[in-house]
A and B are shown apart, each in its own frame.
Chain A
Amino acid sequence: MKTNDFSVRIATVNGTGSMSANTIIYKTLFRMGIGASPKNLFPSNIKGLPTWFQIRVSPQGYQAMKESSEVAVWMNPNTLDKDIASAPENGVVVYNSDAMDETLIKGRPDLTLYPIPVTSLTKESVPKPKLRPLLANMIYVGAIAELFNLDTNTLEAVVKDIFKAKESVVELNLNIIQTGANYVKEHIKKTDPYQFELLTPPKNKITIEGNDASGLGAAFGGCTFLAWYPITPSSSVAEAVEKQLKTHHNTPDGKAKYAIVQAEDELAAAGMTLGAGWAGARAMTCTSGPGISLMTEFIGYGYFAEIPGVFVNVQRVGPSTGLPTRTQQGDLLFVSTLGHGDTNHVMLFPATPIECFELMQEAFNYAERFQTPIFVMTDLDIGMNYWISDDLPYPQKGFDRGKVLSKEDIEKNGNSFARYEDIDGDGIPYRTLPNTQADGAAYFTRGSGHTETAAYSESSVIYDRVTKRLVKKFKTIEQNIAKPIISGDPKAVIGILGVGSSHFAVEEAADQLAAEGVQTKLCRPLAFPFGEEIEQFLFDCDHVFVIDQNRDGQLLQLIRNRFPQAWDRLISITYNLGLPLPANAITRQILKDLKRDPSAYEFEQFKPEPKETTTYE
């Protein structure tokens, strides 16, 4: 038997409620103590297009995407040809025998087939036709539970939690699940080796989507202002912030310690965020690439006028609309210098839910300390998939509100201050907030050339001085920002460097490589600008593989720009499919480059597809 070490890929049609069914299976596995990781591969659509949900379980608790799935559930006849093609050799398939063209399936005699008449079973057990499409998915939940041994008590508890509002709904769903299970019991003889086994239920573990963790980070980081415009995959950050603030940031008499604006577009969301940051609030917005494009002008302004603001970019595939529901680390270069003229921005790269939670809090500290827009760069994989995590830890660090002068400070200073003067030698000036009740506290914020006292200036010399002081500030940021995480074998000469969601695949790849006799050490920057710890890492290795989830090796380019002397030891690995990064993609490339045999990590499906050709008569 193969226990707790395989993947299940469920092919359904979106808008049919399959997400509830899939979540029930995933959460049951999580509560059974099995290391499970789900990936939701969904279309940019509400109803009627194909969607896949892949749940991977592994004894090591790997959370990276696996390229192939040993077990498949086929509910969508429209994707049958694709699903047949993607089924691995000797795979196991549970499918709706009422809906599929079984002659096609018979073309794969290697597969173990478990036909279930889902449509007729649903028809028999659900009297209301309107409910049938929604409940049909519960048939496969029951079938999987029975075939692969989901713990019944845990499953029941999960269903009760998911539909907690209505007892009748719980009962109905449990009945349909039972129908599916009963059909398997009576009609199917299990011949495959895969099964789940109940382990010790986890303690101090949670399961959470990255966007929810980011939202919690904002709430615990003292966010009082959110402006946003709906866009996949970042809308759920805003919804999470809103939910947390509404639950935990109201006074006992119901007054709100926050303001939320659903803006008319991302330009407005950026302007509102900067307006609020300028006035002294911990302000944020969240968006994805297309929204960042629209915010560009304001962000350039925020850099030059030195205004705090937190900008969450849940990256998706671009350019333009791109593949809106697919994941990519495609905005690294773009964001690093967003705005025209010479601009430099701070980016944070959380990978795990705890890092989303903690770096969001830190983002508000950095924004106020460094007086500049701070970008929290996650992606669709981190943001919209569930992850298993340790409990979110209570923050140990207090708020850093940065260099803000009070009425008394201004009065002590002879009723004057110079907004853009580098008093402390760290490149970070002091600011005042509007409504500071002192003469000399006010200053005029502008995107035009300005002097140290914030007066309008077209002087070349002053412009040069002010913008070079910003370079000094960026150096201060580099020295005071989150340090990279270095791990792996300290004696290794092969390094792997990646950020954000690449983390899970990199760690797994390191294990695979170790099993092949290749020791590696790993570096995961948590922030840009990159500091000397990263330089040290690069020179501690003979070769460093830089992992990018984009076409052009954007992280590689940032590293090369910052450390040109390390150029010849950097090797690029790019993954440009818009899917969560699998470990195999890293391992096979490294093995190839090291002239070792990569065949155990090759994967058929991702070999180049033939070009579609058009003929003209």
Chain B
Amino acid sequence: MSEPTPVKKGKENRIGLDKGCYSGAASTLCLGCGHDSITAAIVQAYWDMGVNPYQVAKISGIGCSSKTPAYFLRKSHGFNSVHGRMPSVATGAGLVNKDLHILGVSGDGDSASIGMGQFVHLLRRNINMTYIVENNGTYGLTKGQFSATADVGSKLKGGQPNNLPPVDLCELAIQLDCSFVARGFAGDRKQLITLLKAAHSHQGTALIDVLSPCVTFNDHEGSTKSYNYIRDHYDPIAQADFIPSYDPIEIEHPEGTSHTVTLHDGSKVLLTKIKESYDPSRKAQALSTLERAKDENKIVTGLVYAPHRNEDFATLSNLVDTPLCHLSESELRPSQEVLQSINDSMR
């Protein structure tokens, strides 16, 4: 493994850590990879927020995207699991230690193909975590095959077009009532950082599908997941600003052109410069916005859907305050009298 990126001791955040504490080992991905931009955005967002890195568990599947947890948050436990199965590991770890902030990293092959079952069911359960899909429409580590998110007509490097309809993870998530659905772009760091902060503050599953071009296998003319194509068709729903709960500021709401989403911990996402009256709590509108944009060849980004939803799975499970993993024998083993009554019930 390469040496960790040397970071100069710099400015400290609100818990007294400099940004270097949020970095990881040097990336082994290709120069210019969208995933490295996402890594940088995670480092920035978590440092800005003053997240306690010990409290984060980084969990991933398999693929280029799933390698990235080694490149950020060096003080956090990491779990690079098996292909497509990050959601199940995250579910187990998150439920037995609800103090953990689960940061799941996956890719389009990982979540839209081999692991689609786990993706879908994690959303149904509304497991409390941030779920990042680093979506490049291709299998990078196996050298450039199409993934299930590739658009119809998008071409491989050798020119062969994809003719199967793509899986739109955001639309799928909205249908399943995922409690926070966002789409980002590795090339729009500012928006991505805002989305990451909001996702971290959200209680329940926060999905961010990040378009993240693969510079080696899917950044050519004819690909709809290239930097150029995405920039040319880029259409953020709104300008989004994150207002953390620990740092409330007075904000002005220009009438009719803004919308505020309040998150579980009291943080807010302020959406401004909305072109039409977009309300991310409305399912049908969220879906139709994504569909209409497709008809118009536009790529919508931003916080697409944030319904006032249901409780997350840990809350539904009505767990005790102590994380399950820290319960001791005296708290867990029923008494001799209990066993006696159980025996008596089987006579």
Contacts and interface: CB of A to CB of B under 8 A. Distances in A.
A281 interface: yes
B343 A206 contact: yes
A318 B347 CA distance: 35
A394 B75 CA distance: 42
B55 interface: yes
A258 interface: yes
Contact of B88 (A263, A435, A442): A263
Contacts of A456: 1, 70
B118 A433 contact: no
Nearest to A27: B347
A225 B89 contact: no
B277 interface: no
Contacts of A191: none
Contact of B77 (A272, A394, A443): A443
Contacts of B319: 255-257, 259
A267 B54 contact: no
Contacts of B54: 435-438, 441-442
A208 interface: yes
A254 interface: yes
B318 A257 contact: no
Interface in A261-286: 261, 263-265, 267-283
B110 to A, nearest CB: 13
A31 interface: yes
A251 B77 contact: no
Contact of B118 (A208, A264, A274, A442): A264
B289 to A, nearest CB: 29
Contacts of B324: 224-225, 257-259, 276, 281
A445 B78 contact: yes
B85 A220 contact: no
Interface string A19-47: 00000000000010000000000000000
B76 A222 contact: no
Contacts of A278: 79, 89, 92-93
Contact of A225 (B77, B96, B346): B96
Nearest to A444: B78
Interface in A209-230: 216, 219-220, 222, 224-225, 227
Contacts of B320: 251, 255-257
B338 interface: yes
A276 B318 contact: no
Contacts of B59: 275
B318 A254 contact: yes
Contacts of B336: 394
B99 to A, nearest CB: 6
Given A31-B347, A222-B329, A268-B121, A259 B89 contact: no
B82 A298 contact: yes
A533 B39 CA distance: 55
Nearest to A445: B79
A254 B318 CA distance: 8
A537 interface: no
Given A31-B347, A259-B324, A248 B118 contact: no
Contacts of A301: 81-82
Interface string A418-444: 000000000000001111111101111
Nearest to A254: B318
B97 interface: yes
A219 B331 CA distance: 12
A444 B70 contact: yes
A249 B324 CA distance: 11
Nearest to B127: A261
Given A224-B324, A394-B339, A261 B125 contact: yes
A248 B85 contact: no
Interface in B63-83: 69-70, 74-82
A227 B90 CA distance: 13
B332 A257 contact: yes
A447 to B, nearest CB: 6
Place the interface of chain A in its size category.
35 or more
A587 B327 CA distance: 50
B95 interface: yes
A270 B77 contact: no
B321 interface: yes
Contacts of B80: 444-448
Contacts of B325: 224, 276, 279-281, 433
A483 B100 CA distance: 39
Nearest to B324: A224
Interface residues of B, number: 62
A62 interface: no
B142 interface: no
A434 B97 contact: yes
Contacts, number: 213
A398 interface: yes
B9 interface: no
Contacts of A258: 324
B339 A268 contact: no
A26 to B, nearest CB: 13
Given A434-B97, A448-B80, A279 B329 contact: no
A505 to B, nearest CB: 24
Pick from A267, A271, A276 the residue with the most CB of B within 10 Å: A271
A280 B117 CA distance: 26
B96 A271 contact: no
B85 A277 contact: no
Interface string A326-364: 000000000000000000000000000000000000000
A387 B52 CA distance: 53
Given A257-B324, A283-B96, A442-B74, A275 B91 contact: yes
Contacts of B338: 248
Interface in B297-347: 313-314, 317-321, 323-329, 331-334, 336, 338-339, 342-343, 346-347
B73 to A, nearest CB: 8
Interface in A34-64: none
A456 B327 CA distance: 32
Given A265-B117, A279-B57, A435 B82 contact: no
B137 interface: no
Contacts of B1: 455-457
Given A275-B88, A435-B55, A436-B54, A257 B331 contact: yes
Contacts of B323: 435
A280 B81 contact: no
Interface in B150-172: none
Contacts of A281: 92, 96-97, 324-325
A221 to B, nearest CB: 8
Given A255-B320, A259-B314, A259-B317, A398 B329 contact: yes
Contacts of A119: none
Contacts of B57: 279, 434-435
Interface of B: 1, 52-55, 57, 59, 69-70, 74-82, 85, 87-97, 99-100, 117-118, 120-121, 125, 313-314, 317-321, 323-329, 331-334, 336, 338-339, 342-343, 346-347
| 10 smallest beta-carbon distances between A and B, as pairs | A275-B92, A271-B88, A280-B325, A276-B92, A281-B96, A275-B89, A272-B92, A206-B346, A434-B77, A444-B78
Interface of A: 31, 202, 204-208, 216, 219-220, 222, 224-225, 227, 248-249, 251, 254-261, 263-265, 267-283, 297-298, 301, 391-392, 394-395, 398-399, 432-439, 441-448, 455-457
26 contacts: A31-B347, A204-B343, A220-B333, A220-B339, A248-B338, A255-B318, A256-B319, A258-B324, A267-B85, A272-B88, A275-B92, A275-B96, A279-B57, A279-B92, A279-B325, A298-B82, A433-B77, A435-B54, A435-B97, A435-B323, A439-B75, A442-B75, A442-B78, A444-B70, A444-B77, A447-B82
